[in-house]
Structure 1
Amino acid sequence: MKILLLPGLDGTGILFEDLTKALPKSLNIQVVSLSELSGETYYEQAESLNRLMKDENLLLVAESYSGRLAYELYKLAKNRVEGFIFIASFISSPSFISRFAKLFPIKLIKPNRINYWIINHYGFNGHATKEKIQRILHSIKTTDREKFKYRFKNIAEINDPTDKLNLPVIYISPDKDRLVGKKALKQLTSTFERLEVFQLPGGHFIAQAKPIECAKIIALTASQLSGKTNLS
């Protein structure tokens, strides 16, 4: 079974560095760069990813933006997907304000005092080190700008899924997530009949703030799925 790590809005996979270091070396892990996938919409990129992974059994680990990508990939791959782990993620609109995401001027995302405060407050609940904030700004700087714009558009236009799915699902939930609202989590609960929530202290960037804790949940889930053990 391959563990696919699907990154957040930056799309680079750079922000998974600490998480991958904390994961057991015995696991078969692949970090996906969204910029390397063809297509613009969630569905088109899921098609691209499905072609790349056509012979693999998968555990999908989706951070933030990539929740809907994982969901669309499952609809294509189905029997090859063993389960999901969502990290501060969503498959429907994450908040009311996200409907206006495509209007956001991404050129404003650059190192300055205001953006440091925004990332720290909304991403880390005010507890980030300067290094962690700089790493996020660096990952945004290195991403493909056109594809970055399309990700904002995808968030703004995301709809509510209607399928009911019955497979093992873990949701790693920050207790102070200021970017993904309760309604988005409620949609996940409605969609996945076997969803189990693990709450960790922190803000939206929980995989970066608590990589060891997240790695333990991923490793345990992979072990249980390999042994076909009931996660609940």
Structure 2
Amino acid sequence: MIAVRCLLLPGMDGTGELLGDFVAAMAPEFDADIVRYPDDAALGYDELTDYVRARLPHDQPFVLLGESFSGPIAIRIAAARPAGLRGLVLCASFARAPSPPGWLLPASWLGWIGTVLPIDRVPTRLTAATMLGAWADDKWLARTREVLATLDPATIRARMRAGSTADETAALSRVACPLLYLRGRQDRLVSRRSWEHIRATLPQAKCVELDGPHFLLQAKAVEAAAAIKLAFET
């Protein structure tokens, strides 16, 4: 059996360093390939979309997966219907600027908070608790700390601003391939409204809910991989 490529676009950190367990869980049916973004605050959604587009496979079918921040990039690319694209997966992500459960203010306010928040001074335990919730054990605390130490706060602020004003609804409506949405029931960052907006725009989209946090591909790697394999079984 020839493995299908899975081009994996990481979340806001852009490194993919926390996705090793998920990559392993996708084998052997899928050859998961992480696109690591340059740590450059000047690269917004337009530039990162071009960066990913230049790395699309040309010699085999592939599934495109956008995690969290990367959802709008994955949607833009899928809307262009590149050759070989078999499906689109959005994990804990959005087509239109997201907000946490219970958030009543405009999503753009989250981007403003990001510009004034001393990101490099936020305790790792707090970041891990937000991203991982009950799954923030010592192992994940250590791994999260290692990744955070490599990030440029200016880049994270720029990506927070970009995400807080994103709206790829029009592009989403042009997606022709099957779309699978993976949602964590304990997601503290992206509320169910993001999935509901996607479903309203693209009624044929499917959703799989897992008992997990925003970092769904990290905390529920095996279950997330199984859902993707079932949706796009070869």
Shared fold (TM-score, shorter chain, > 0.5):
yes
Determine if contact 1:37/1:48 at 8 Å carries over to the other structure: no
Determine if contact 2:185/2:210 at 8 Å carries over to the other structure: yes
Partner of 1:129: 137
State the 1:61 CA deviation. 1.2
Distance 1:98 1:119, change over 3 A: farther
Letter of the aligned partner of 2:134 in structure 1?
G
State the 1:26 CA deviation. 4.8
Question: What SS does the aligned partner of 1:179 have?
Answer: coil
Larger helix proportion of the pair: 1
Q: In the alignment, which of 148, 163, 168 is matched to residue 140 of structure 1? A: 148
Q: In the alignment, which of 31, 42, 47 is matched to residue 44 of structure 1? A: 47
Q: Deviations over 1:90-123 (max 9, x none)?
A: 12111146423333246434573xx413531x32
Distance 1:110 1:222, change over 3 A: farther
Question: What SS does the aligned partner of 1:125 have?
Answer: helix
**2:108 is the counterpart of 1:94:** no
Determine if contact 1:61/1:86 at 8 Å carries over to the other structure: yes
State the 1:209 CA deviation. 0.9
State the 1:160 CA deviation. 4.9
Distance 1:197 1:4, change over 3 A: same
Could you tell which deviates more after superposition, 143-152 or 62-71?
143-152
Question: What SS does the aligned partner of 2:159 have?
Answer: helix
Partner Cα distance (1:152, 1:127) in 2: 24
Partner Cα distance (2:178, 2:29) in 1: 22
Letter of the aligned partner of 1:119 in structure 2?
A
% same residue: 23
Partner of 2:224: 214
Question: What SS does the aligned partner of 2:6 have?
Answer: strand
Partner Cα distance (2:137, 2:131) in 1: 12
Provide the TM-score with structure 2 as the length reference: 0.82
Distance 1:26 1:181, change over 3 A: closer
Partner of 2:58: 55
Partner Cα distance (2:179, 2:106) in 1: 27
Partner of 2:205: 195
Partner Cα distance (1:204, 1:37) in 2: 24
Structure 1 residues not aligned, in runs of 5+: 227-232
Determine if contact 1:47/1:76 at 8 Å carries over to the other structure: no
Partner Cα distance (1:76, 1:37) in 2: 25
Partner Cα distance (1:204, 1:38) in 2: 23
Structure 2 residues not aligned, in runs of 5+: 100-104
Superposition RMSD in Å? 2.5
Provide the TM-score with structure 1 as the length reference: 0.83
Distance 1:76 1:150, change over 3 A: farther
User: Aligned residues, how many?
Assistant: 221
**2:159 is the counterpart of 1:156:** no
Partner Cα distance (2:43, 2:29) in 1: 34
